[in-house]
Structure 1
Amino acid sequence: MSRHARLTDEQWDRIVALLPSSQGHRGRPWADHRRIVEAIVHRYRTGIPWRDLPARFGPWKTVWARHRRWAADGTWDRVLGVLLALADDAGQVDWHVSVDSTINRAHQHATNTRQPEGCREAAHGHGPGAHREPAGHAVGRSRGGLTTKIQHAVDGQGRPRAVVVTPGQAHHGQTLPLLLGDLRVPRPAAGRPRTRPEVLLADRAYSSHAIRQALRSRGIRAVIPERCDQQAHRLRRGPVGGRPPKFDPVAYKKRNVVERSFALLKQWRGLATRFDKLAIVYRSAAILAAVLVWARI
Structure 2
Amino acid sequence: MSSIVGSRSRRLSDAQWAVIGPLLPSNAGRRGRPFEDDRRVVDGIIYRFRTSTPWRDMPRAEFGPWQTIWKRHRRYAGDGTWDRVLQALLAQADAAGLINWGVSVDATIARAHQHATNTTRPDQDTGAVSNHKNLPLGEVEPAGHGIGRTRGGLTTKIHHAVDGNGLPLAIVVTGGQRNDGAMLEQVLDDIRIPRIGRGRPRTRPDAVLGDKAYGSGVNRRMLRARGITAVIPEKSDQIASRKRKRSAGGRPHSFDVEAYKDRNVVERSFALVKQWRGIATRYDKLAITYRAGAVLHACLTWATLLGDTP
TM-score bracket relative to the smaller structure: over 0.9
Q: Aligned partners of 2:153, 2:197: CA distance in 1, in Å?
A: 47
What's the CA shift for 1:12?
Answer: 0.2
Structure 2: stretches of 5+ with no match in the other structure: 1-5, 306-310
2:16 maps to 11
Q: Which runs of 4+ in 1 moved over 4 A?
A: 22-26
Distance 1:168 1:197 in 2: 26
Gaps of 5+ in 1: none
- Contact kept in structure 1, 2:121 and 2:145, CA below 8 Å: no
User: For 2:213 and 2:182, how far apart are their aligned partners in 1?
Assistant: 11
| 2:94 counterpart of 1:88 | yes
Query: Which residue is 2:308 aligned to?
Result: none
- In the TM superposition, residue 128 of structure 1 has moved relative to its aligned partner by 5.8
Alignment of 1:11-90 (within 5 A): 11-21=16-26, 25=31, 29-55=34-60, 56-90=62-96
> Superposition pairs for residues 38-187 of structure 1, below 5 Å?
38-55=43-60, 56-115=62-121, 117-127=123-133, 129=135, 131=137, 132-187=140-195
2:244 corresponding residue in structure 1: 236
- Alpha-carbon distance in 1 for matches of 2:175, 2:136: 16
Give TM-score, length-normalised by structure 2: 0.93
Whether the 8 Å contact between 1:121 and 1:138 is mirrored in structure 2 is yes
CA 1:138 to 1:268, structure 2 compared with 1: closer, same or farther past 3 Å? same
Cα distance change on mapping 1:262 and 1:196 into 2, 3 Å: same
Task: State the shift of 1:48 in Å.
Answer: 1.1
- Deviation for aligned residue 1:90: 0.8
What is the root-mean-square deviation in Å for CA atoms of aligned residues?
A: 1.3
3-state DSSP of counterpart to 1:225:
coil
Whether the aligned pair in 1 keeps the contact of 2:194 and 2:202 (CA below 8 Å) is yes
Distance in 2, Cα, partners of 1:100 & 1:154: 9
2:214 is aligned, of 184, 206, 210, to: 206
Query: Could you tell me which of 276, 283, 286 is aligned with 2:291?
Result: 283
Secondary structure at 1:283 match in 2: helix
Q: Distance in 2 between matches of 1:165 and 1:40?
A: 19
Amino acid across the alignment from 1:226: E
Q: Which amino acid aligns with 1:43?
A: R
Range that drifts further, 122-131 or 75-84: 122-131
The total of aligned residue pairs comes to 296
Distance, in Å, in 2 between the alignment partners of 1:296 and 1:236 is 52
Cα distance in 2 for partners of 1:218, 1:270 equals 36
State the Cα distance separating 1:25 from its structure 2 match. Answer: 4.9
Q: Which moves more between the two structures, 114-123 or 277-286?
A: 114-123
1:31 deviates by 2.2
Offset at 1:98?
0.2
Q: How far did 1:143 drift?
A: 1.1
Output the TM-score relative to the length of structure 1: 0.97
Q: Which amino acid aligns with 1:208?
A: S
Work out the CA distance in 2 between the residues paired with 1:31 and 1:235.
66
How far off its partner does 1:2 sit?
2.8
**C-alpha contact 1:116 1:140 (8 A) present in aligned 2:** no
Distance in 2 separating the partners of 1:133 and 1:19? 23
- Rounded to whole Å, the distance in 2 between the matches of 1:198 and 1:171 is 24
Q: Does the alignment pair 1:216 with 2:224? A: yes
CA contact (8 A) 1:105 1:148 kept: yes
Q: CA deviation at 1:118?
A: 3.7
